[in-house]
Structure 1
Amino acid sequence: MGIKNYLIEGVSCTGKTTVCDELIKRGYQAIHGDRELAYQGDLETGLPTAGLTHEHHIWNIQKVKCLVANHDEKITFFCGGSRNFSKFIDLFDEVFILDIDLETLKHRLDQRPKDEWGSKPSERQLVIKLHQTREDLPEKAIIIDATQPIEKVVDEIIRQIKI
């Protein structure tokens, strides 16, 4: 997809989908990872698993590799969360983590539609735990304050890649 490829990660409700939409609106190549690459699978084998669980929310590694290998675009952003990011993170030129404070996270979780992941009490508790522990996020990344208006969040990401 891009000569330069960037991963935008974060826990649920940090704004990954909204950032992706804004990047597309601005004319950038952006992939909605949770829509276009994600499925429920085994972390080690990649084989599909039954049921919807956070631990098995992974991206199709072959699709990621194919998209990264295609250099039709100058820049491509991959936006979304994946539990198997460690298997393909080295393909990206840079990784960004959208970060918000706990109060903002709880407010955004309250606004989640009832049919979206994170709206159920058990899912909400897991999102809050993951926010506090950061155990599901890449260690080496540029932190972006995602409490700002979306335009400023995307401006900061663009500034960081020095276009």
Structure 2
Amino acid sequence: MAVILVTGMSGTGKSTVLDQLKQRGYRAVDTDYGDWIEHVPRRDGAGVEPQWRENRIDALITGHELSGEALFVGGTVWNQARFRSRFDEVVLLSAPIGVLLARIAHRDTNPFGKTAGERDRIVADAAAIEPLLRSSATVEIDTRRPLADVVGRLTALACPPPAGVHFGRHARGSA
């Protein structure tokens, strides 16, 4: 079965979607939580940047490839491109910046984005990083759609289509 990366900017709903997938019985790992990420000095010397602990992500994918089940991995880190070939699909969750900032202002599951400086960083990251994520995505889903629709699109990627139905494996699509 498929190994699917669910990525996107802060506030797009990655954690919410992954929680819904878990409730439906799928294996979904939110790399924002647990010991999946380490913070390394930025190349420009201006602070630190989160990156996946590559040995842990490699072990997760390797161990799961033999399971015959779908695996959803959620996160947005600078070294995720190193694992691109290991993902059957790369799904970009997206929404306009105003929607992201409104969601972040009202969420209580993650403190990031509550300060003016963090909100400024979200705006800057959306302008600089989201186009890079979009260029490597196989599918983009607008998360202004109902949550059930977003989760339904993801579960459809995890399962083979019914016999006789053929979809482009890496066809770009947006909802």
Normalising by structure 1, report the TM-score. 0.82
Change (3 A) 1:127 1:145: same
Give, in whole Å, the separation in 2 of the partners of 1:149 and 1:135: 24
2:22/2:28 contact within 8 Å kept: yes
Q: CA deviation at 1:161?
A: 4.2
How much does 1:115 deviate? 6.6
**Equivalent residue, structure 2, for 1:139:** 135
Which residue pairs with 2:53 in the alignment?
A: 60
Larger radius of gyration: 2
> Match of 1:39, as an amino acid?
E
Which secondary structure does the structure 2 equivalent of 1:41 belong to? strand
The alpha-carbon deviation at position 162 of structure 1 amounts to: 4.4
Aligned to 2:103: 108
Unaligned runs of 5+ in 2: 161-175
Cα deviation for residue 93 of structure 1 reads: 0.9
Is the contact between residue 83 and residue 136 of structure 1 (CA under 8 Å) also seen in structure 2? no
Identity %: 26
Please report the RMSD computed on the Cα atoms of aligned residues, expressed in angstroms: 2.2
Partners of 2:27 and 2:135 in 1: CA distance: 25
8 Å CA contact retained: 1:113, 1:119: no
> 3-state DSSP class of the match of 2:10?
coil
Offset, 1:132? 2.7
SS at match of 1:148: coil
Q: Cα distance 1:115–1:146, how it changes in 2: closer, same or farther (>3 A)?
A: closer
Residues 36-93 of structure 1: CA deviation (Å, up to 9, x unaligned): 312212478xxxxxxxx6x511111111111111122411000122121122222111
Change (3 A) 1:75 1:42: farther
Describe how 1:1-163 pairs up with structure 2 within 5 A: 3-36=1-34, 37-42=36-41, 56-70=49-63, 71-113=66-108, 116-133=111-128, 134=130, 137=133, 139-141=135-137, 142-163=139-160
